[in-house]
Chain A
């Protein structure tokens, strides 16, 4: 549906460098990455608002460099909603169908249907300046859908909303994607949004594509330290491979040895990456199962995460972060200064090349 072939594009301080990716019809595709990484530029390049300096953008298999934005059937919703302030909500939604020169009855029919399906009939005659962020966002999405696009581009659509409104809009977007069979490309720096909605995802860091694939794969199997850091792998430990026996390697991190499954060769500098959720905590003397990595650790900090989980900061000779349920933390009486056993399986450790 959408294909980038080695696209490079410089735009003031921003630039995309040799980005190749392909988005299939019906994908809910996420472009994720830290703020200021050039994600919005990717959307604008798909929409045709910027032309690549080198490389090709293909849509439906055709090079679209000669197709202006108004002919691409791609709708774009910006983070700041970008509603036309001099038009009422109804006029905003009707703008696209009018531009497509649809018959008047069809313009009205579409507008009214969208007003009702987004629950914004009561706002129809209001001007955007007087509305809340959530209301404006719904109008912006309704306006984009009014042209019945094949592709919908969303630029951080939930970032400025309160949690309740965000929740509601996410549900809406999931439904719209399902019901309309739309191809949606969404940009975000929020990982939860991607995990919740995306089918596939690309991580863009500093204008470069760092990784692309099914969203689970990107989050669970990062291929570089940068991606690992971004997708929330809390433990990234630099060390050297000292032993490799049939794929079971030992990584020397400071004075500690960490066992990992890897094909890295002896002497190689690697980053050992461990998800905080993969680290188990036990009292001293308790069984820790068959995990190959077992360390005596001092609890240095306990950070509540707002939900059922707390994050433990540990010192095992190297810093380690673990997630435990708040209930376990309470029952075990975990407190800073306590000594516990932290363990994780060798298969939970990924080794990645050092940046």
Chain B
């Protein structure tokens, strides 16, 4: 029934055709790459087994996960405050949260570099206790946290806003402190949004290139490796690495999306 009604609706038909262009572009690009890569399977397998490629993918995904863990610790409290309070200057705070969204990534890279380089405001003291960001793993993570933070904070904040404040109020009159009410009521009810925000932030983090190369060219994350292979060995090498990365990402995303359907399923009828 739904199908016939869509087909008869001129508005929806024309919109679908126009909207299809975007889907077409993505699908077409993936198809053309897939066809090309599958035409030389030995080469594909060789690249896929290349330790440098595998290491880089593991490094990228691991650093992304690390960034998400940091965002969970720092971003959830911020998201909760933004969801539950109203204060003068809240608009300013919201804009600060969104800054990484609107900056060119190279600019984000420079901001991160200035702060975390050896002589940077934060980099220098941490250098003293042996944590180096330049050309090191912490540099990658910190750049990822910076660019992914708005995605995480905004998604989680929306999740908290969906939890009726009445539920917290009731929990408190029943004897729960504000912390306990948050932990026992609000947090579990926002679990799915936190999970989805994490996926979003993770996806954004592993996709980052410009901000990361500025502070940490080495160890090479996958984007850096692809760019490096592109400039030194050409399109064939780099596109195969890219294809392997696509396969890895797809697998992870499908698993995570499936998992998210089961998280917080019972609470849908808030």
Chain A residues engaging chain B, CB cutoff 8 angstroms = 44, 47, 49, 68-70, 72, 74-78, 80, 82, 84-86, 95-96, 99-100, 127-130, 143-144, 146-147, 153
Contact A84 B180 (CB under 8 A): no
Interface residues of B in 174-214 (CB under 8 A from A): 174-178, 180, 184-185, 188-189
Cα distance A128–B178 when bound, in Å?
23
A-B interface contact total, Cβ < 8 Å = 80
Provide the residues of chain B in CB contact with A96, threshold 8 Å.
174-175
For the complex, what is the distance from the CA of A27 to the CA of B3, rounded to whole Å? 61
B88 within 8 A of A: no
Q: Are A78 and B176 in contact (CB under 8 A)?
A: no
Give bound CA distance, A130 to B166, whole Å: 19
Chain A binder among B102-110, B124-132, B152-160, B262-270: B262-270
A279: min CB distance to chain B, Å: 44
Across the interface, name the chain A residue whose C-beta is closest to B270. Answer: A85
Taking a contact as CB atoms under 8 Å apart, the answer to whether B164 and A75 are in contact is no
Residue pair B173, A70 in contact (C-beta under 8 Å): yes
Q: Which residues of A contact B229 (CB under 8 A)?
A: none
Question: Are B169 and A76 closer than 8 Å at their CB atoms?
Answer: yes
Chain B residues proximal to chain A, CB less than 8 Å: 164, 166-167, 169-178, 180, 184-185, 188-189, 264, 266-270
Provide the main secondary structure of the chain A interface: mixed
A96 vs chain B, min Cβ distance (A)? 4
Neighbour of A70 across the interface among B167, B177, B264, CB < 8 A: B177
B266 and A86 contact, CB distance less than 8 A = yes
Contact of B185 among A84, A100, A127 (CB under 8 A): A84
Can you name 5 A-B pairs with beta carbons within 8 Å? Answer: A47-B172, A76-B169, A78-B166, A95-B174, A129-B268
Do A147 and B266 form a contact, CB below 8 Å, given A80-B166, A99-B180? no
B173 touches A85 (CB 8 A): no
Q: Are B166 and A86 in contact (CB under 8 A)?
A: no
**How far apart sit A355 and B161, CA to CA, in the bound complex (Å)?**
42
In the complex, what residues of A have CB within 8 A of residue B268's CB? 129
